Amino acid sequence: MTAMAGGGKIGSANTNAFWFDTADQAPANFSGSASIIDNSTGIPLTVQPQVVSINIKGATEYRLVFMFLVNGTAAAFPLNITDIPPGKSIQVQFSGKLR
């Protein structure tokens, strides 16, 4: 994984994933929910928060990730300038407990 900037990064392989730059998490302790509270893309979306393993500089760590999906289809929604052009945005509210 490449370095994170601004608190997180978009996944390299899965561009519908936003990885947060948190401390290593304990998946068994994770409790949380997320919802999209503003979306100007015109595409109905859902967001799924998870704590999953990721390889960071050769070490396996657990981090919070938001997975963005097209509502009703479960298709991945890429976080890029084609699908979120300039002037458009997605705002997410997270409520939960991290390690």
pLDDT at residue 59 in the model: 87
Per-residue pLDDT of the chain (99 residues; tens, 9 = 90+): 556 667 899 988 899 999 998 989 999 989 999 999 999 999 999 999 999 998 877 889 999 999 999 998 989 999 999 999 999 999 999 999 887
pLDDT at residue 64 in the model: 95
pLDDT at residue 56 in the model: 79
Alpha carbons 80 and 25: distance in angstroms, whole number: 27
Name the burial class of residue 90, with classes exposed (0-12), middle (13-18) and buried (19+) by CB atoms within 10 angstroms of its CB. Answer: buried
- Within the chain, how many helices (H) and strands (E) appear? 0, 6
In angstroms, the Cα distances linking 34 to 13, 30, 43, 46, 90 are 22, 13, 17, 9, 12
Alpha carbons 45 and 72: distance in angstroms, whole number: 8
pLDDT at residue 5 in the model: 67
pLDDT at residue 2 in the model: 56
pLDDT at residue 15 in the model: 94
DSSP state of 92: E
Read off the pTM. Answer: 0.90
